[in-house]
Amino acid sequence: MFDQLSDDVVRRIFHYLSVRERARFSSVNKRLIALFSTWDDVFYCSARLGGVSLAGEDFVVEIEKPLRPDSTVKTHNRYLSFRIFRIAAQTIGLKSV
């Protein structure tokens, strides 16, 4: 369904979702991965060997490179597990690890 919408419409929809929700959508839809870099509320992105950090005015999301197959995402002291490190790394131009 998202494939039929223009990028501007999808960006507008994403504006109402939290960063965690956008990351989940992006992990299942390759077209949405391309929109990862257009999130207006993400002001800081840091990539390092151990993971990726995203930050905005009122949130911080740390995506750590896992020792096991799935990665751990820390959001305000809450732990969520899903595979996103590779997606975030590819989105910001890192080679797959």
Asked if residue 97 belongs to a domain, the reply is no
Asked if residue 96 belongs to a domain, the reply is no
- Give whole-number Cα distances, 10 to 16, 35, 73, 76, in Å: 10, 8, 24, 26
Q: Look at residue 39 in the predicted model and tell me its pLDDT.
A: 62
What is the domain range of residue 38? 2-91
**CA 60 – CA 11 distance, rounded (Å):** 20
pLDDT band of 26, cuts 50, 70, 90 = low
Q: What is the mean pLDDT of the chain?
A: 62
Span 40-55, pLDDT tens digits: 666 777 766 677 777 7
- Is the whole-model pTM more than 0.75? no
Q: Which residue has the tokens 């995402």?
A: 73
In this structure, which amino acid lies at residue 17? L
Mean pLDDT of 19-24: 72
Domain count, the chain: 1
Span 47-78, pLDDT tens digits: 666 777 777 777 777 776 655 555 444 544 33
Q: Look at residue 82 in the predicted model and tell me its pLDDT.
A: 35
pLDDT band of 97, cuts 50, 70, 90 = very low
